[in-house]
Amino acid sequence: MGILRRVKELFLAETNGMLDKCEQPINMVNQYMREFDVELAKGQKALANQLFIERRQAALIAETETQIEKRDRQSRLAVKQGEDQIAKLAIQEKLLQEKKLATYKSQYATIQEQTSLLEERIAQLLVQSEEFNHRRLLLASRANVASSLKEMSQSVVSFQTENVTKGFARAEEKIMLIEAELEAMQRFQSPVKRSTPQYLDPSLKEDIEKALDELKQLPEE
């Protein structure tokens, strides 16, 4: 049971670590940009298909117009040659082709409108892509600066509250010790201080006072 619990905790820790890493701002932005690029690619593919349909429709219109001109020439030639039946068939084919041409042109106009809409949307997406890339660069720069300042701030706070205070205390103690040692050396290095006691012996107090009075009573030379 202990091993299973440890494995579970390890798995959860690694999973949470991966999630935290994925939720980093720049990683999130990069993922959004990848999703945007997928949509942009879909739009470009749709536009390519639309342009193909438009060109195919234009080719169909051109072919139909050619057929109409051909049937028109046939009907005129048949009339000149007195072949009315052939002229009627050519005219009939011409009329059918003209109806097709009207339909094809109407469809072509719709296709062109759809192409224009797609082109406009792709243009908007490209502008957005450029804007998003610019914003991503700015966010990356801001994140880099913020992370650096955060690390510096944490380092400075830790250093100021601990190392600097302790360092000053240690330096002050060492200076006080050096000063004390110097003062002790000066006290015992002075000849006067070495030969003359710096205190009065209580047992000699009366004799000292008496000798002092005698000195004061001596006539001045």
Please name the residue that has the structure tokens 């000149």. Answer: 80
Tens-place pLDDT, residues 14-66: 554 444 444 577 788 788 888 888 888 898 899 999 999 999 999 999 999 99
The average pLDDT across 138-159 equals 68
In whole angstroms, what is the distance from residue 30 CA to residue 132 CA?
Answer: 10
Which pLDDT score is estimated for 154? 60
- In-domain check, residue 118: yes
In whole angstroms, what is the distance from residue 199 CA to residue 169 CA?
Answer: 35
Q: What is the count of structural domains for the chain? A: 1
Which pLDDT score is estimated for 221? 57
DSSP 8-state class, residue 163: I
- In-domain check, residue 210: no
Which pLDDT score is estimated for 53? 94
Q: Is 187 left (phi over 0), alpha (psi -120 to 50) or beta?
A: alpha
Report whether 54 contacts 111 (CB < 8 A): yes
- In-domain check, residue 102: yes
Residue ranges in 23-83 assigned as alpha helix (H): 25-80
Which pLDDT score is estimated for 11? 47
67 contact partners, CB below 8 Å, separation of at least 6: 93, 97
Chain centre to alpha carbon of residue 38: 20
Domain membership of residue 69 as a residue range: 2-155
- In-domain check, residue 97: yes
* pLDDT of 12 above 80: no
- In-domain check, residue 129: yes
In whole angstroms, what is the distance from residue 216 CA to residue 38 CA?
Answer: 115
Q: Is the dihedral of CA 64, 66, 69, 73 positive or negative?
A: negative
Report whether 104 contacts 64 (CB < 8 A): yes
- In-domain check, residue 202: no
* pLDDT of 188 above 80: no
- In-domain check, residue 180: no
Chain centre to alpha carbon of residue 101: 56
> Between these two residues, 112 and 220, which has the higher pLDDT value?
112
In whole angstroms, what is the distance from residue 99 CA to residue 56 CA?
Answer: 18
Report whether 61 contacts 108 (CB < 8 A): yes
Which pLDDT score is estimated for 113? 95
pTM of the predicted structure, to 2 decimals: 0.53
Confidence label for 214 from pLDDT (cuts 50, 70 and 90): low
In whole angstroms, what is the distance from residue 15 CA to residue 20 CA?
Answer: 9
Q: What's the token pair of residue 24?
A: 């980093």
- In-domain check, residue 170: no
